[in-house]
Amino acid sequence: MHKHLHELETYVRAGIPTIWLATHEERRALKLFEGFRDDLMYSVIDWDILQGARVVYSSPHTKIPKDALERATDPVSMIQEFTKLDNKAVPCILIMHDMHKFMNSIEAIRAVQVFLADAKALKHIIFMSHKAAIPEELEKDVLLAHLGLPGNDDLQSIINAIIAENELEGKVEVNGEHIKAVQGLTNQEALNAFSLTLTEKQQLDRQHLEKFKLEAVKKSGMMEIFPAVDPRELGGLDLLKTYMALRAKGFDDPNLPTPTGILLMGLPGGGKSLSAKAIASMLKMPLIKLDIASLKSKYVGESESKMGQALALIDAVSPAVVWLDEIEKSVGGVLSSNKSDGGTSSAMFGKLLTWMQESKKPKFIVATCNDIQPLLEASHGALIRRFDDIFFVDTPSHSEKLEILTIHNAKYNANVPEALVPQMENWTGAEIEKLCKSSRFEGVDNAFANIRPIYEQNKELFSKMRSWAGHNARPANRPHVVQEAAPKAQNKRKLNV
């Protein structure tokens, strides 16, 4: 049996009569079903609304009457005929397609219930659909199974077949980055991605391949895709960059633990969002922004469902960098959730915590916050314990300001003099960028005079965060270098000459 159908095989071996297989890959699943014939000696009947019922393959130990198949013109009659099959037709599996369109009818539900009441050993119905749509009446009787996405070996086989078919041996380089770029795609999607990339680029390109994977995220409408940023565009924050350079090895070396993620705390404009984009570049992964607040719905249960779908989709397209921006705003209402929104925020927060703890898919979570207090209060700090480390993004040091100024002078073709840097006390990188942009319109002096550092508006909050971070977080910034005064001369002696 193929490893991707292991869960389904376990259900069949256990004698589970009704199973719902959620997959977009019908053709691949049917091909894998041959394992039931080879390993378990099952006959397989396939039914859909256009072609009706047909025997896909028959075990030598079973005999399926043709007249029973001819009478199965709709899903209800198919289930009824399958229920009537006697012991000469077992072991046997019935695969029914597109049942999410039919299962809501009372006739279909009752037909399944009659089958369950009369179910014989070694007879199983597998409902195959792109999504799970098990009615409430049957949710205790129908088990949900999933078809695993193609693994690295499967993806390697796909590209090898393309290269062999088109006589490209020795002309196209295939490496681990290319395989990782299409992880999370179906067989057909991977085939399309490899074929189109080779057609357009005449070679395999990681960034081009990732575009196909991210199409699934765009189609969902639940998350946003952001381009990665060259780490050289991120001024300062050397300690964070060094940390990430070391942690990147955890995604390539199987002997190292896989990193989970980090929390970046600090003032707005300090470079937290830009850091998330730079980290995606350093890890060579796409950047997916998950806005938890946008998933909330006015309908009961829908918010939790959308949260589950979003997290499952992230797992499907991983490896990826997941960006949770200003996360304190999303979880700030958890404590009062039962009073304010019927427990919706609390349920969504619980799903996030479970996913961060239990999901084994390779991904790196970068969460940012402007205020750590709500995260400490939410579930007694359970969220921050899910991260590998917490980094405090302070206002940049003198040398970091010089670096940031150089970057933005070049970016905006500005000419802000470095002599102004000592006057930029408590400025963030965003304010230095604003100065460079504004100077192109109104000159350096006027632009400088109109900058109001956000630090001055949040002194108390920022002081509390800085104090908390001193004991509980890593510094992200380059250390402040304090010039020492010249040493005083020792053992002076005045000579009378």
Distance CA 313, CA 185 (A): 11
DSSP code string of 308-355: HHHHHHHHHH-SEEEEETTHHHHHTTSTTHHHHSTTHHHHHHHHHHHH
Predicted TM-score (pTM) of this structure? 0.68
pLDDT of residue 480: 64
CATH number for the segment(s) 221-479: 3.40.50.300
CATH pick for 152-220 out of 1.10.357, 2.40.50, 1.10.10, 1.10.8: 1.10.8
Distance CA 236, CA 429 (A): 9
Say if residue 91 is preceded by a cis peptide, omega within 30 of 0: yes
What is the rounded distance in angstroms from the CA atom of residue 219 to the CA atom of residue 481?
49
- For the chain, state the CA radius of gyration: 30
Per-residue model confidence (pLDDT) at position 104: 86
**What pLDDT, on a 0 to 100 scale, did the predictor assign at position 475?**
94
How far is Cα 187 from Cα 143, in angstroms, rounded to an integer? 25
How many whole angstroms separate alpha carbon 80 and alpha carbon 108?
A: 10
Question: How many whole angstroms separate alpha carbon 412 and alpha carbon 404?
Answer: 12
For residues 55 and 65, give the distance between their C-alpha atoms in angstroms, rounded to a whole number: 10
- Going by C-alpha positions, the residue among 308, 307, 251, 241 that lies closest to residue 278 is 241
Instruction: Locate 98 and state its tokens.
Output: 């597109």
Domain boundaries, the chain: 3-146, 152-220, 221-479
Residue 363 β-bridge partners: 320
- pLDDT tens over the chain, length 497 residues: 456 677 788 888 888 999 998 888 888 888 777 766 666 778 889 999 999 998 887 777 677 788 878 888 899 999 999 998 876 777 888 999 999 999 989 999 999 999 999 867 788 999 998 888 888 899 889 988 877 778 888 889 899 999 888 888 888 888 888 888 887 788 888 888 899 988 888 888 887 887 887 777 777 777 888 888 899 999 989 999 999 999 999 998 889 999 999 999 998 889 999 999 999 999 988 899 988 777 766 555 567 777 887 888 888 788 889 999 888 887 766 655 545 555 677 778 888 888 988 888 889 999 999 888 888 887 677 888 889 999 999 999 999 999 999 999 999 999 999 999 999 988 999 999 999 999 999 999 999 999 999 888 888 888 888 899 989 999 999 876 543 333 444 555 555 54
Quote the CA–CA distance of 368 and 172 in Å, as a whole number.
40
The yes/no answer on whether domain 3-146 falls in CATH 3.40.50.300 is: yes
Which amino acid is residue 189, in one-letter code? Answer: E
pLDDT attached to residue 212: 80
- Whether the domain at 3-146 and the domain at 221-479 fall into the same CATH topology: yes
Question: Residue 496's pLDDT is what?
Answer: 57
Chain-centroid distance of CA 16 in Å reads 32
For residue 237, which of 395, 380, 131 has the smallest C-alpha distance? 395
Residue 301: Cβ within 10 Å count = 11
271 φ/ψ sector (left φ>0, alpha ψ -120 to 50, else beta)? left
Looking at residue 219, its pLDDT comes to 75
